[in-house]
Structure 1
Amino acid sequence: MAIWQELKLCWENGYRKVLCCSDSLLAVNLIKQGVTSHHRFANEIHIIRRMLENDWEVVITHTLREGNTCADVLAKMGAMVKISTPPSDLLRPLLEDAWGVEFIME
């Protein structure tokens, strides 16, 4: 549902080159491979796949939650809205991302 809503938000706001990184490998695979009409989320997957046919470039990929601090902060906040100024909790992760800081997973 989050991927669907975020793609819809991107389309409505005129973004035509989108990189969608999800920590749900299952969701990414379902979108890429499609599902049968009997799947629990068949309607949602079908809508997302139809959205991807629009005139835009969308890459949907899997990432580890730990590898995308900014997305993790937003997900914990339940951010499913358009924001013009980053929340204070996001300032440090954005700065670290801009500096190219990498975190090694143990």
Structure 2
Amino acid sequence: MDNYKFSGVVPTLVKRIQNLLTLDWCVQFFHTWREGNRCADLLANFSLSLDSLVCARKETPPSELHKLMSDDISG
């Protein structure tokens, strides 16, 4: 990762992930194609529209997410 040049919030996120990986944890990463988890893909794309990395808690999911959640539930 040190050889790559990033811009925006990505370097901060990558650095935070690298710091977490140095802790005494057993960590595994699994790749899922965006089509395999459209809810996560929608939320990830939504996060790119934010000005900064923030943690938010909502009582209900965004309206765009309702259909995707229903599709996931029904298989």
Band of TM-score, shorter chain: 0.5 to 0.7
Structure 2 residue aligned with 1:64: 33
- Map Cα deviations across residues 40-75 of structure 1 (whole Å, 9 max, x no partner): 56843431214572xxx8653111112211011112
**Matching residue within 71, 84, 90 for 2:65:** 90
Fraction of identical pairs, as percent: 33
RMSD of aligned Cα (Å): 3.0
Q: 1:60 to 1:52 in 2, by over 3 A?
A: farther
Distance (Å, rounded) in 2 between the aligned partners of 1:52 and 1:93: 36
Report the TM-score when normalising by structure 2. Answer: 0.56
Distance (Å, rounded) in 1 between the aligned partners of 2:36 and 2:24: 25
Say how many residue pairs are matched. 60
Write 1 or 2 for the structure with the bigger share of strand: 1
**Matching residue within 46, 52, 70 for 1:77:** 46
* Contact in 1 for aligned 2:21/2:27 (Cα 8 Å): no
